[in-house]
Structure 1
Amino acid sequence: MQITGFRVYQVDLPLREGRYSWSEGKSVDVFDSTVVAVETDAGIVGYGEVCPLGPAYLPAYARGVRTGIEELAPALLGADPRRLLVLNDRMDRALKGHPYVKSAIDMACWDALGKAAGLPVCELMGGRYADDVTLYRAISQRPAAEMAENVAAYRAEGYRRFQLKVGGNADDDIARIRAVAEVLEPGDKLVADANTGWLTHEALRVANAVRDVDVYLEQPCKSYEECLIVRRATSLPFVLDEVIDSVGAVLRAAADGAADVVNIKISKFGGLTRAKQARDLCASLGIAMTLEDSWGGDVVTAAIAHLAQGVPPELQFTSTDFNSYVTTSLAAGAPKREHGRMSASAEPGLGIEPNFDVLGDPVWRC
């Protein structure tokens, strides 16, 4: 099987809540997502998606995805999409860095491999541990009372894990954490995610002020070294996210005892192939994981579900269903939340069928 062409689609994903806000005053109203179709001479088409969380979150931006694919795709014509390691090496030789550009292509090739084999992606990745995976709900940054109300509402929908967006004024964030903690019930888990928004002294203030609260601290500061200072100064469980972008980063965190949980975002690693490598390494090291991506719609949500199904249940901290956050459906067959959980499709590949009435015409093809 050989790759014969690419189609690239752009689609806007408006938020159900109207706006998503996180640290340092950052916010997004409409997400700009890119869907890639990888065509083959066998008549099989694989689909992938990548959706950066705006241009000010990670070194990634939506138009950069499409520009990067225009640069990269011609070098992949004739490649076998089923040979994922070979394909990733070919992408790295053709384009240095820019893992988020490669993510949707790699995802689409996993979809094509699954369709060719007649198996779901999760089975090709090693198997499905359980029937479903646990989801978290991200709580957009707002005044403390509003965030507590949002948590209570999402609890009623079946969620039991909540990622509270903090990383603003330390006093406000302390109030946010305490207000939300008051509405939780036994068995719930609360994560205070600063998304790199605090300076070290602010993170230490918050950690000290909420030391009596059952809460995880996530990525308080920009650099790994700053986060490690905070980690070593608190007994609260600790999550690393933005600085976990490679197998090497996982190994470093493990050696330093820098985190109890790490977040593996598919596009940050460059696709499912390398995200799977990090997943399996964490499983070998006994590190709990959140399996997710920066953002996305139905295709990304499907990929997250397949990746997460291969995590031993005791290490599967949580995942997310991004398609429930947005008003636009890109594809049929994507996972749907049931009581705070979701399950990967049993159909071949990712198990999705794109909605071309929504995608429209390709913005680029070759």
Structure 2
Amino acid sequence: MKISRIDLYQAELPYSGGLYRLSGGRTYESFDASFVRVTCDDGTQGWGESTPFGSTYIAAHPAGTRAGIALLAPALLGQDPRRTERIGDLMDGALVGHLDAKTALDVACWDAFGKSVGLPVCELLGGSTGVPMSMISSIHAGDPQEMRARVADHRARGYRAHSVKVGALDSEGGPALDAERITACLADRRPGEFFVVDANAGLIPETALRMIQLLPPGLDFALEAPCATLRETKSLRERCPYPIVIDELAQLDADIALIVAQDLADGIGLKTSKAGGLTAGRRHRDLARAAGLTMSVQDTTGSSIAFAAIVHMGASVPERLLRGVLNCEDMVTLKTAEFSPVRTGDGILPPAAPGLGVTVDEEVLGDPVMTWGL
């Protein structure tokens, strides 16, 4: 089984909430997505997606994703997609860094792998726990009561975990506004719900501590990605009464190892495209598990294909360490594929279909923007 053809597609994914507001005044109305289809000599196909969160989130941007894929794709022609670690080695040899570009190809190889052996990807990642997973909402920063209403809307749709965005500039209201946002979003908390307060690296220790001091007692949440550097995170951790989760700063295997060695966090945000795909994500899962770090399995954003990868990885995380999976499909209005996770009253499970279990709508994606073949 060898890769004989690789097609690259591009699509714009409008944000379903109109305008997405992030810390530091960053805003997004849509997301520029890249999709890859790998076709093998026996006819097996696999799909992958990589959708950067604009160009101001981490060191990734859509044009760079496609430029990276253009460098990587020729190196994978003639290779067996089931040898996922070796595929990763080839990509690392062809291009240093640029994990967002490697993600789409890596996930497509896992999809093809699963289809070739008739198994869902979660089984290849170690096996599904069989425990329904909570979906995580993404509550963008805004007026406190509006955010509270959005939490309630997601709660009514079955979400049991919520990521509340903070990080207001002083000119926007600063720590006082963020404290109001947190208090409002947690006001109607239900038993069994989990909240993360996510600054997306938009705070410094001073603003984070000011925000914390303005909160009423008894609020139960984890503080995610408060600062832009590990030094700042370490400084805050020594004085913060809340558990800290590291996200943007946990991209490489070495990042996870350092976080564990220096006891910098209580959990990590495991994002598929930030890690470089499911192959590296599996290593991050295992490092975090060995250290007793909790995990939320996410991606920067994306459509149904990215959501499928999230669900399969999340299903392989032990229940006591998993805080939820991000439904990025719900964040965008363009439907690129049919993906039907099993839904229960307690959460979701991956489907039993082989590979990712997605049926891609190729008419929506249109013609490839680039193609490579043997």
TM-score bracket, shorter-length normalisation? over 0.9
The answer for the alignment partner of 1:276 in structure 2 is 282
Q: Find the partner of 1:228 among 234, 238, 243.
A: 234
Evaluate the alpha carbon distance shift between residue 333 and residue 191 of structure 1 in structure 2; reply closer, same or farther with a 3 A threshold. closer
1:13–1:30 Cα contact (<8 Å) kept? yes
2:176–2:214 Cα contact (<8 Å) kept? no
Evaluate the alpha carbon distance shift between residue 96 and residue 321 of structure 1 in structure 2; reply closer, same or farther with a 3 A threshold. same
Instruction: Answer yes or no: is 1:325 the counterpart of 2:331.
Output: yes
Q: Number of matched residues?
A: 366
Shift of 1:215: 2.1
Instruction: Answer yes or no: is 1:59 the counterpart of 2:59.
Output: yes
Evaluate the alpha carbon distance shift between residue 295 and residue 100 of structure 1 in structure 2; reply closer, same or farther with a 3 A threshold. same
Moved more, 205-214 or 129-138: 205-214
Shift of 1:338: 5.6
The answer for the alignment partner of 1:113 in structure 2 is 113
**Separation of aligned partners in 2, 1:313 and 1:7:** 37
Instruction: Answer yes or no: is 1:298 the counterpart of 2:316.
Output: no
Evaluate the alpha carbon distance shift between residue 30 and residue 339 of structure 1 in structure 2; reply closer, same or farther with a 3 A threshold. farther
Residues 250-289 of structure 1 mapped to structure 2, 5 A cutoff:
250-289=256-295
**Separation of aligned partners in 2, 1:72 and 1:8:** 12
The answer for the alignment partner of 1:43 in structure 2 is 43
Moved more, 327-336 or 12-21: 327-336
Shift of 1:177: 0.9
Q: Find the partner of 1:175 among 180, 188, 195.
A: 180
Read off the aligned partner of 2:355 and give its amino acid letter: G
Query: What is the DSSP-based 3-state SS (H/G/I as helix, E as strand, rest coil) of the residue aligned with 1:42?
Result: coil
The answer for the alignment partner of 1:96 in structure 2 is 96
2:194–2:323 Cα contact (<8 Å) kept? no
2:60–2:100 Cα contact (<8 Å) kept? yes
Query: What is the DSSP-based 3-state SS (H/G/I as helix, E as strand, rest coil) of the residue aligned with 2:353?
Result: coil
Query: What is the DSSP-based 3-state SS (H/G/I as helix, E as strand, rest coil) of the residue aligned with 2:238?
Result: helix
Query: What is the DSSP-based 3-state SS (H/G/I as helix, E as strand, rest coil) of the residue aligned with 1:9?
Result: strand
Shift of 1:143: 1.0
**Separation of aligned partners in 1, 2:253 and 2:71:** 26
1:226-274 deviations in Å (ceiling 9; x for gaps): 0111111012111111101122211221222221111111111111001
Unpaired runs of at least 5, structure 2: 169-173
Residues 4-23 of structure 1 mapped to structure 2, 5 A cutoff:
4-23=4-23
**Separation of aligned partners in 2, 1:18 and 1:228:** 35
**Separation of aligned partners in 1, 2:265 and 2:103:** 25
Shift of 1:334: 4.3
Query: What is the DSSP-based 3-state SS (H/G/I as helix, E as strand, rest coil) of the residue aligned with 2:251?
Result: coil
Q: Find the partner of 1:201 among 185, 200, 206.
A: 206
Shift of 1:284: 2.1
Shift of 1:340: 7.0
The answer for the alignment partner of 2:129 in structure 1 is 129
1:302–1:345 Cα contact (<8 Å) kept? no
**Separation of aligned partners in 2, 1:299 and 1:15:** 16
Query: What is the DSSP-based 3-state SS (H/G/I as helix, E as strand, rest coil) of the residue aligned with 1:97?
Result: coil
Read off the aligned partner of 1:357 and give its amino acid letter: E
**Separation of aligned partners in 1, 2:195 and 2:315:** 22
**Separation of aligned partners in 1, 2:40 and 2:176:** 55
2:161–2:323 Cα contact (<8 Å) kept? no
Percent of aligned pairs sharing the same letter = 39
**Separation of aligned partners in 2, 1:344 and 1:170:** 39
**Separation of aligned partners in 1, 2:31 and 2:342:** 20
2:9–2:34 Cα contact (<8 Å) kept? yes
Query: What is the DSSP-based 3-state SS (H/G/I as helix, E as strand, rest coil) of the residue aligned with 2:273?
Result: helix
Read off the aligned partner of 2:148 and give its amino acid letter: A
The answer for the alignment partner of 1:342 in structure 2 is 348
**Separation of aligned partners in 2, 1:225 and 1:108:** 36
2:269–2:295 Cα contact (<8 Å) kept? yes
2:224–2:247 Cα contact (<8 Å) kept? yes
Shift of 1:151: 1.2
**Separation of aligned partners in 1, 2:160 and 2:229:** 30
Read off the aligned partner of 2:138 and give its amino acid letter: A
What is the TM-score of this pair, normalised by structure 1? 0.96
Shift of 1:337: 6.0
Instruction: Answer yes or no: is 1:187 the counterpart of 2:184.
Output: no
Evaluate the alpha carbon distance shift between residue 31 and residue 335 of structure 1 in structure 2; reply closer, same or farther with a 3 A threshold. farther
Instruction: Answer yes or no: is 1:75 the counterpart of 2:81.
Output: no
**Separation of aligned partners in 1, 2:345 and 2:302:** 21
**Separation of aligned partners in 1, 2:307 and 2:166:** 24
2:296–2:323 Cα contact (<8 Å) kept? yes
